[in-house]
Amino acid sequence: MQFCLDKHGEWVAVSASDENREDEKGENGGFFGRKNEQHVKKIAKTLADSTTWLDMLNDTKRNAMFQRAIENSTEKIKSVKKRNAANGDVVLHVFDVGSGTGLLSLFAARAATKTGVTVRIYSCEMFLPMFLVGERVVRDNVREKKVPETSSIQMFHTRSEDVDAITKHELDVLISELLDSALLGEGWLMVLKDVFSRELLRRDHYSIVPSSAKIWVQLLHAEESVLDVDVKKGRAALFGEAITSDGFSRLDVQCHFDSLEKRGRIRAISKHIQVFEIDFTNDKDWGRTEVVRCCCSSSSISSSSSSSSSSLRSLGLEINAVAMFWDVDLDGSGAFRLNTFPAQSYRRHWRQVIAPLECPIPLSASEEIPIQLEARIADDCLAFDVKVSGCGDKEKEKKKEMTMKKQKETLIETKQETWREKKRWLHIALANISEFWSSRAPLGDNVCGLNLTKANVLLCAKSVESNSPGYCYQSFKCDLLDELGHRYSTIEEEQTIFLWKSCELFVDDADEKKREEEEKEEEGEEDNKKKLRIDVDAGLEITANHVVFFFSDKSHADEWKTQPVQVARMDQELIGKKFTIIASNLDADEGECIRVLRK
């Protein structure tokens, strides 16, 4: 049994018993059947708010690159084994770690068609609801003959180090997509350390996907609000301080670099600097510290900056932050690569990473400042650290004084109590957001030729399963300005997102239940569930594809850009002037129910 958190931090129990699994004909719904409908919706709502798995699976470039890299790797190993095989029969053994929906396992299984060999795949997934989804997805594709009969996939609900079905020196190919924005945060190196220590890979030949990675950094000047609010407070709430005790900057806080740069909140001081390279095919040199030296001056400031170098120098510009990007070679050939440089197509699941420096480095108008960068793998192989130095003792002392002053001010602010009105207001809008329309689309039956529709039960669910049009998918939490600021930074551009806005008085759950009970007693009704019905008159013809909403204690609040909002993707784009929005369960654990109809 495994316990999963819902959106309020409550635990939902999920069992791996046989009754929770579908039978071979797919007739028993198992855990995803009607008896567990509310539990499944609670988990799906949590995943919509807190993960970007759906966005990742909708990344066509990522999917295609992994598919081709896996095919290339199995082909290389097949050629080696055929030369060494006495009777010509070749069997490839593949281990997929963190398999999720089973997509990479299915890529490996289907590679048998092109290589003409038998492929046996071991697949493991820790998160039990996703493991059960993966079983359904694999079964569907086997039943639909989208993978050859010469392939077999054995699935395990466990950590990779607990899979004991693999014998010593058995594995030909190890595949995984345990890559996050900070590269190492999902434990890929820890998986590799276990595989190497148990000697699971062949002695003379093996392939690992991904194969290697290069780490690049860029020196920045960032607004204090970016460092204090976006980075330091956000990180401290989850992981601890952003600066280590020995002065290294911990690189694991995500940001949309383009969005911050376009809005002038950060300025690039240096070009991209390669500081580290990791070879995933061996674990011999992961503990090293790399040192890179460069020089910077005020003339190094990116020409794309909105201000001239002279005016920026007058503002006392300094290097006070560092951003990280990675470039991964999936199969060692250099042909199939993925990276997180900001000049890529829009991505929610892989972003850039930013961290403050322990001590800012002032820029000089007349001379270049020598900079030293030290880079290392840290935190038990779960993080990447960079130390940027070039300032003297005086600057360090000044920085410490400023830090202590800000900490004191923050402490005073947190002790101040603010009065809040009991009333809550629902701010709601119709929007057209092309980025989310693509990245949050339901998964279909042709994701690189494979059927992933069963994964929608967790990753792209509706609160009401109905064939009637207009119902939205479960909303996800989003900081619009952070995620879309690179595209929509001016008032004119923002107007292309929000097509209509409104504000409605919202009664919270406790008061609503009390009101409903009173009405039932008075009217003798069995069910008098309230639905919020909003008539929309946009004034002109619009094309809407999302509903955006948030709650506030103020009716006149305009906080669309200053706080996270909920974004619900509509099941179809609607064109018209007048619409009706019907909403209920906006505070429910299993997710809200929103329907948009054209009048």
Q: What is the C-alpha separation between 549 and 262, in angstroms, rounded?
A: 25
> What topology does CATH give the domain 2-144+152-175+201-208?
Rossmann fold (3.40.50)
The pLDDT tens digits of the residues spanning 300-333 come to 565 444 433 333 343 568 999 999 999 999 999 9
What would the two tokens of residue 537 be?
A: 């008159």
Query: What angle (nearest 5°) sits at the alpha carbon of residue 214, between those of residues 323 and 290?
Result: 80
Indicate whether 179 pLDDT > 60. Answer: yes
DSSP run (H or E) holding 222? strand 212-222
% residues pLDDT > 90 (the chain): 52
% residues pLDDT > 70 (the chain): 78
Q: CATH says 424-598 is which class?
A: mainly beta
Indicate whether 84 pLDDT > 90. Answer: no
Indicate whether 528 pLDDT > 80. Answer: no
Per-residue model confidence (pLDDT) at position 303: 46
Per-residue model confidence (pLDDT) at position 304: 43
What would the two tokens of residue 513 be?
A: 């239940």
Indicate whether 225 pLDDT > 80. Answer: yes
The pLDDT tens digits of the residues spanning 244-263 come to 889 999 988 889 999 899 88
pLDDT band for position 409 (50/70/90)?
low
Count of C-beta atoms within a 10 Å radius of residue 290:
16
**Taking the domains of the chain in order of start, what are their residue ranges?**
2-144+152-175+201-208, 212-414, 424-598
Which DSSP string do the residues of 44-104 spell out, in sequence order? HHHHHHH--HHHHHT-HHHHHHHHHHHHHHHHHHHHHHHHH-SSS--EEEEEEES-TTSHH
Residue type for position 457 = V
Residue type for position 220 = L
Report the candidate in 378, 412, 409, 414 with the shortest Cα–Cα distance to residue 243: 378
Q: What is the mean pLDDT of residues 169-177?
A: 96
Q: Specify which residues 119 forms β-bridges with.
A: 92, 151
Q: What is the C-alpha separation between 239 and 383, in angstroms, rounded?
A: 11
Q: What is the mean pLDDT of residues 95-102?
A: 97
Q: Which CATH architecture has domain 212-414?
A: Distorted Sandwich (2.70)
pLDDT band for position 524 (50/70/90)?
very low
pLDDT band for position 417 (50/70/90)?
very low
Indicate whether 542 pLDDT > 90. Answer: yes
Per-residue model confidence (pLDDT) at position 312: 37
What would the two tokens of residue 211 be?
A: 């194969």
Greatest mean pLDDT among 207-221, 419-433, 495-509: 207-221
The pLDDT tens digits of the residues spanning 345-376 come to 788 999 999 999 999 998 877 788 899 999 99
Q: What is the C-alpha separation between 57 and 35, in angstroms, rounded?
A: 28
Q: What is the mean pLDDT of residues 190-211?
A: 95
Q: What is the mean pLDDT of residues 13-35?
A: 64
Mean pLDDT of the chain: 83
Report the candidate in 168, 186, 167 with the shortest Cα–Cα distance to residue 177: 186
- Out of 142-156, 399-413, 425-439, 583-597, which region has the weakest mean confidence (pLDDT)? 399-413
Residue type for position 391 = C
pLDDT band for position 406 (50/70/90)?
low
CA distances from 356 to 2, 179, 264, 313, 470 (A): 37, 23, 17, 20, 45
Indicate whether 523 pLDDT > 90. Answer: no
Q: Do domains 2-144+152-175+201-208 and 212-414 have the same CATH topology?
A: no
The pLDDT tens digits of the residues spanning 112-131 come to 777 778 899 999 999 999 99
Per-residue model confidence (pLDDT) at position 90: 85
What would the two tokens of residue 526 be?
A: 């069995």
Per-residue model confidence (pLDDT) at position 16: 60
3-state secondary structure 380-447: CCCEEEEEEECCCHHHHHHHHHHHHHHHHHHHHHHHCCCCCCCCEEEEEEEECCHHHHHHCCCCCCCE
Indicate whether 3 pLDDT > 90. Answer: no
Contacts 24+ apart (CB under 8 A), 48-54: 48/459, 48/461, 48/473, 48/474, 48/475, 48/476, 48/591, 49/7, 49/475, 49/476, 49/477, 50/7, 50/477, 52/348, 52/349, 53/100, 53/130, 53/349, 53/459, 54/439, 54/440, 54/443, 54/459, 54/460
Quick check: 191 and 160 in contact, CB under 8 A? yes
Q: Which positions ≥6 away from 99 have C-beta within 8 Å?
A: 105, 123, 124, 125, 134, 155
Residue type for position 179 = L
Q: What is the C-alpha separation between 491 and 270, in angstroms, rounded?
A: 30
Q: What is the C-alpha separation between 273 and 322, in angstroms, rounded?
A: 11
